[in-house]
Structure 1
Amino acid sequence: MKVLTNTALVMLGLVVMLSSCSKKQQSQKTGLSYNDRTNGGYLRYRQSHPTPGPGLVPIEGGTFVLGGSADQDVTYEYNNVRRRVTVPSFYMDETEVSNQDWLDYLHWINITFPNDNELYYNALPDTLVWRSPLSYNDVYVDNYLRHPAFQDYPVVGVTWEQAQEYCVWRTDRTNENILRERGNLVTWKDQAKSQGGAAGANSGQPFNTDIYLNGQIRGQGVDGKKMLKDLNPNAQGGTGKNAARRPVRLEDGILKQGYRLPSEAEWEYAALALAGNTQFENINDGRVYPWDGLGVRSPNRKTRGLILANFKRGAGDNAGVGGGLNDKAIITAPVRSYQPNDFGLYNMAGNVNEWVADTYRQTSFEEMDDLNPFRGNEFTNKRLADPTKGLYAKDKYGRPIKDPATSNKKLKYADMIAQQQAQAAAITNPAGTTPANSAAPGATTAAVKDPLAGKAYTPDYRDFNDTVNTALYGTTTLVNNHSKVYKGGSWNDLSYWMNPATRRFADQESASADIGFRCAMTMVGAPEINPQGKPHLPVKKAKNYKAR
């Protein structure tokens, strides 16, 4: 009898599921059924909370006091005065980008553009950052990046610009892998067969997320066997296996948001990890470092006295005494060394400083918005190769060419077409062939006049039209739009710099043996990471409309 009862319950559940699935979703405002090709193919995509990309952990946002962890300003910079801000939820790399991660990047360049020595050379870290005339660190020049003993150590010697290029590359490789694993693009195995076993090599132009989403990566040998059905009644195709197919769209929620450098506020918020000592919106104790307490040694019984991060205790003391090394590292340490903070992030204090996305200004805290504060440089627009068809212009690496934005609002269609045509005429050479900025990935033009009005302008909206005059750079100041913030302290810094509120800057083209980076990613949708078990106000689902 019990078996029959359980079977009946299962069958009842299946009936309920099938009946609920048979009810098509409708527009709440028109009553039209979604995902029905017969009525025009209006689309409604499955609503979901996206998962983080590879290597990332979710960081639930909230309010905190920017600069609040600094208990003193020993440099008298007055550059991070306390201010309450809100940081939206986002994703962040669990660890710093390692040497192995960077070697993956170099390998891809080598197999994809085997004859482009300039591209490969520009992607190489500056290993000469280890060289010093008064110390014998030459062994690191040749070995730190490539020797397998250092493969899990953080990559150093990378500029802010190189870190930005890595973020773009990582975005494209992650999304390409998702599409090939799903069968929306030709799978890796099928691609390797078509290329004579050269798995991962690209016979044509490499995948780019923006170009793909714009419908410019399609065709024989590119489309996968499991492309999504195209419900548009104008799409060419039959029914069943012969039904029209389409590429993945942003609305499908399949592709990941782009990897990028974290903003300074995001980095500081993630480093403090106040989620671990907060209850009912009350912070029990403030923090000086990414862990509780005022010290740099572990208070736990099993690890009592051990140093909690990789830093320099004092002049000439990078590791402690032989036989009892206090932080187990003389230079950098593996990226998963020490305990993670309460967000699950490793080495948010010490090991290497980390580039963030912000341009440095001493008084940024006074000027930035209190929601998601960020000081960037300029807005850009993707150049259109054919404005009437909406096709993006591509550089020789398959990336969209970006131009400085001449407006911070949506233009009228006629103005947009005229602007694009004027820019194309101004940038191409007399023969009308290659755009002037197509030599490097992600390059932008240096146009300084509005092609419509002919007046000088600056696209520097985020920096409040800060001057572009660099005549005094290096003479009276080192601060200009090329000065980027780095944070966190390093193996060669004293403990003061491990405070998340401290901030320093360097030129975006400079590199150092104590600066690395980690990536972040914007989170879309609901900000709450773990809603289970938390009180919520009930929300009723919309009822379907029945025509009578």
Structure 2
Amino acid sequence: MACRQPPARQQEQPAQEMPGMVWIPAGSFMMGSEEFEDSKPVHKVTLEGFWMDEHEVTNAQFAEFVKATGYVTDAEKPLKPEDYPGVDPDKLKPGSAVFTPPAHPVALDNPMQWWEYVYGASWQHPFGPNSNINGKDNDPVVHVSFIDAAAYAKWAGKRLPTEAEWEMAARQGKPSAAYYWGDTLKPKGRWPANIFQGDFPWNNTLEDGYAGVAPVKSFPPNAYGLYDMDGNVWEWCVDYYRPDSYTEKEETNPKGPADSYDPEEPGAVKRVQRGGSFLCSDQYCIRYKAGSRGKGEVSSGGNNLGFRCVKDK
């Protein structure tokens, strides 16, 4: 009787374990989505295997980094008047964007109705100077810019994922589906991710149990053992953002375009974000769907934005 070959993942996984990380085996997949203009065309991508953090970087992990290095995040740094010509210097105070839901229905044409720049908001004070992260060691760290995330990754001996790596890990070796977990938004009557239920942005019915971020591992992992690849917080990727970066050409270990361009903000340098957040809703932001892309200016953050790291074999 012929011996059965073990799964490819077991064959490829290095003998050395990486605590807190999951091995993503080498393979090919169809990247992108025909549902979103900046995710077209769907094209074949082949990647080498790599390690990925099993969950988003937490407050406790980021605190270790800050304690060891004295690092100051972008949200905590004083603003330079020369970078903001015409703005009253007295109003140039460090802070970050915080989701602040209105108390009534609003037209969904202006995000400023539910986002507020809050002085003193940072990773240690998610909602402003009077808030803190006491007892929230296992919440994903937020208000981290791309620059902050890359600094942490370097200190940890890791790096940020390419968006191809991120998507292959999220697809977990399965055929294309509407969502990373399958074709049904709420399989078996349970919410598989921390997203927004109810009427966005003012009436969150909390069917998944969370109004904001959820502690890591609050929802089931995917087939690779990765948590929160959908919802909870957006995650930084290393690729520059361009809406025209995809082509029909097959790619091997793609690193993204050489520069950034967003026609909505031509002067801003942006990197790709993936996975959606606790604010994703079919009424407004559907970018938690499989193959979709997000974007963000590299020095900016918010209370729905975090990251996880990867490491080469």
| TM-score class, shorter | 0.7 to 0.9
Residue number in structure 1 paired with 2:148 = 162
SS of residue matched to 1:291: coil
- Cα distance in 1, alignment partners of residues 234 and 23 from structure 2: 21
1:478 Cα deviation after fit: 2.2
* Residue of structure 2 equivalent to 1:146: 133
Which residue pairs with 2:166 in the alignment?
267
The equivalences for 1:295-306 within 5 A come to 295-299=184-188, 305-306=189-190
Deviation of 1:493 (Å): 1.7
User: For 1:130, what is the secondary structure of its paired residue?
Assistant: strand
**Per-residue deviation at 1:130?**
2.4
2:91 counterpart residue number: none
Name the structure 1 match of 2:66. 106
Q: Does the alignment pair 1:330 with 2:229? A: no
The equivalent residue for 1:290 is 180
Q: Deviations over 1:409-435 (max 9, x none)?
A: xxxxxxxxxxxxxxxxxxxxxxxxxxx
Larger strand fraction of residues: 2
Q: Unpaired runs of 5+ in structure 2? A: 1-12, 78-93, 103-113
* 2:193 aligned partner, one-letter code: A
The answer on whether the counterparts of 2:43 and 2:248 sit within 8 Å (CA) in structure 1 is no
CA contact (8 A) 1:123 1:162 kept: no
Once residues 55 and 213 of structure 2 are traced to their aligned partners in structure 1, the CA distance between those partners, rounded to angstroms, is 13
For residues 195 and 148 of structure 2, the distance between their equivalents in structure 1, rounded to whole angstroms, comes to 25
- Structure number with higher relative contact order (C-alpha < 8 Å, ≥ 6 residues apart): 2
Q: Return closer, same or farther for 1:489/1:133 CA change in 2, 3 Å cut-off.
A: closer
Structure 2 counterpart SS, 1:64: strand
Using a 3 Å threshold, how does the CA distance of structure 1 residues 144 and 151 change in structure 2: closer, same or farther? farther
SS of equivalent residue, structure 2 residue 127 = helix
Indicate the residue corresponding to 1:83 in structure 2. 43
Compare the two structures and name the one with the higher helix fraction.
1
Any residues of structure 2 matched to 1:40-439 within 5 Å, and which? 49=14, 51-67=16-32, 70=33, 72-73=35-36, 77-110=37-70, 119-120=71-72, 128-130=96-98, 140-142=127-129, 146-148=133-135, 150-171=136-157, 259-274=158-173, 277=174, 283=175, 286-292=176-182, 294-299=183-188, 305-313=189-197, 314-316=199-201, 319-320=204-205, 325-366=206-247, 370-375=251-256
2:274 and 2:185 mapped to 1: Cα distance?
18
TM-aligned CA deviation for residue 298 of structure 1: 3.1
Instruction: Give 2:111's aligned residue.
Output: none
Q: Distance in 2 between matches of 1:344 and 1:155?
A: 20
1:498 Cα deviation after fit: 1.1
Is the aligned partner of 1:498 residue 2:288? yes
SS in 2 for 1:58: strand
Gap change, CA 1:49 and 1:350, over 3 Å in 2 = closer
Distance apart, 1:349 and its partner CA: 0.5
Q: CA deviation at 1:356?
A: 0.3
SS state of the match for residue 341, structure 1? coil
CA contact 1:159–1:510 (8 Å) conserved in 2: yes
Conserved 8 A contact 1:99-1:145: no
Q: 2:132, 2:62 → 1: CA distance? A: 9
1:433-486 Cα distance to aligned partner (Å, 9 max, x none): xxxxxxxxxxxxxxxxxxxxxxxxxxxxxx2xx69xxxxx89x65246821000
With the length of structure 2 as denominator, give the TM-score of the two structures.
0.74
Distance 1:121 1:270, change over 3 A: closer
Q: Which amino acid aligns with 2:277?
A: S
The answer to whether the 8 Å contact 1:90/1:522 transfers is yes
Contact preservation (8 Å) 1:160, 1:508: yes
- Verify the 8 A CA contact 1:318 1:491 in the aligned structure 2: no
Distance 2:57 2:303 in 1: 14
Q: Quick one: structure 1 residues 372 and 261, their matched pair in 2 at CA, closer, same or farther if it must change by over 3 Å?
A: same
2:80 corresponds to: none
Aligned to 1:161, the other structure's residue is in SS state helix
Structure number, greater radius of gyration: 1
Q: For residues 308 and 520 of structure 1, what CA distance do their matches in structure 2 show?
A: 23
Match of residue 530 from structure 1: none
2:56 & 2:213 partners in 1: Cα distance? Answer: 11
Aligned with 1:509 (options 299, 303, 308): 299
Contact 2:74–2:145 under 8 Å retained in 1: no
For each residue in 1:346-377, what CA deviation from the matched residue of structure 2 results, as whole angstroms up to 9, or x when unmatched? 0000001111010011221128761011126x
Q: Residues 124, 98 of structure 1: CA spacing in aligned structure 2 closer, same or farther, 3 A cutoff?
A: farther
State how far apart, in whole Å, the 2-side matches of 1:497 and 1:91 are.
25
Q: Percent identity among equivalent residues?
A: 30
- CA displacement at 1:53 relative to structure 2: 3.0
Task: State the Cα distance separating 1:50 from its structure 2 match.
Answer: 5.1
2:271 is paired with a residue whose SS is: strand
Instruction: Summarize the Cα distance change of 1:336–1:319 in structure 2 as closer, same or farther, 3 Å threshold.
Output: farther
What is the CA-CA distance between 1:308 and the residue it aligns to? 1.1
Letter in 1 for 2:49: S
Paired residue total: 262
Please give the TM-score of this superposition, normalised by the length of structure 1: 0.44
Once residues 359 and 338 of structure 1 are traced to their aligned partners in structure 2, the CA distance between those partners, rounded to angstroms, is 30
